Amino acid sequence: MSSLKLCSTLMLVLALAAISGCSKNNPTNTGEGSNVVSPTFTLNDNTNYQVTSISIGQSGTTDSYVYGIVKFKYLGSGSVDYVGISASFKDGQGNVLFTDDSYIRNLSDCFDGYAYNTNTFLTAVHDTGYYYIIEDMGTRKAADIAKVELTITSEDFVYAPPMGMLANSGSPYATTGNVWCQNVTNSGNIIVSNAYTRFVFKDSQNKLFMWTFPESYVSNSIEDTYQVGQSGYFKSYDMTPDYMTTSLDIQDVCLDWDTSSTASTKVSLLRISSPDQNNLLLRQSLDKITRENMLRSGKK
């Protein structure tokens, strides 16, 4: 998504209202609905990469935004970094609806910034990657997307352990109102700071299309910095679109962090131009709209 296309949306209110605490509740969190498609696709490199799922869905019945996820499995034996993705989304007549350029994000060891690794790498061990989609389609809908053409590029690199370690503690869990949480701990030996951690959601048919940047909490206050040994949690509101009868379930938590020595540099350099930062602001705006619509409709 270009900066011009983001401008109008970024003028919206950017912050979610905070909810203190994350007490466990265990509702049934499966759902099904319409307006979610799994288009056909082509991939330029079927030797080193496999598309294991692709789904795109409306953010809401009357919303113009769509979200999507393409999940990849890396089949190569070497290590690759800066795994870039170029995508062209077409309708049934072959007309281009929109295009996108981004990076594949890996599943578990998502360490970002100027450390040993970026969070765009894949190896024989860290072999799962996500390509996240968000787009304003105007008057068109997700159902109009019939085919996606995917082109992957990458660079060879030598894997090294991360400089810090933010780790999940247990599994994600739902609280009252289907607010999702994930406990985390800084299990490394240096201070780390949350960067662009994501929650990935699935519907009752196991289609992955919805994702969000959760808020980071330390001592029940919004905070991104984790001291050595310090614990906290990530939290997001229910991301279920209004056309689904039951709630989305969380599939994965993709952690993404910086070391304290690189966080300030990263923020100063990428605060404006980073696609992840733009997506974060956009997601926060859309999350707020979704939450307000839910409250107006009586959905908790």
pLDDT at 278: 59
pLDDT at 277: 56
**Full-model pTM:** 0.78
SS3 track for the chain: CCHHHHHHHHCCCCCCCCCCCCCCECCCCCCCCCCEECCEEEECCCCCEEEEEEEEEECCCCCCEEEEEEEEEECCCCCEEEEEEEEEEECCCCCEEEEEEEECEECCCEECCCCCCCCCCECCCCCEEEEEEEEECCCCCHHHCCEEEEEEEEEECCCCCCCCCEEECCCCEEECCCEEEEEEEECCCCCEEECCCEEEEECCCCCEEEEECCEEEECCEECCEECCCCEEEEEECCCCCCCCCCCCEEEEEECEEEEHHHHHHHHHHHCCCCHHHHHHHHHHHHHHHHHHHHHHHCCC
Low-confidence ranges of the chain (pLDDT < 50): 2-20, 25-33, 109-116, 261-273, 288, 290-300
pLDDT tens-place string over residues 172-219: 999 888 899 999 999 888 888 887 889 999 998 889 999 999 999 999
pLDDT at 300: 38
CA distance 256 to 113: 9
pLDDT at 297: 44
Q: Are 79 and 158 spatial neighbours (Cβ–Cβ below 8 Å)?
A: yes
pLDDT tens-place string over residues 103-142: 888 865 444 444 445 557 888 988 999 999 999 999 999 9
pLDDT at 285: 58
CA distance 61 to 64: 9
pLDDT at 34: 54
Domains and CATH numbers, the chain: 3-31+162-198+212-297 (no CATH), 36-156 (2.60.40)
- Residues ≥6 apart with Cβ < 8 Å to 169: 183, 184, 185, 231
Instruction: Residue 209: name the closest of 10, 15, 90, 38 by CA.
Output: 38
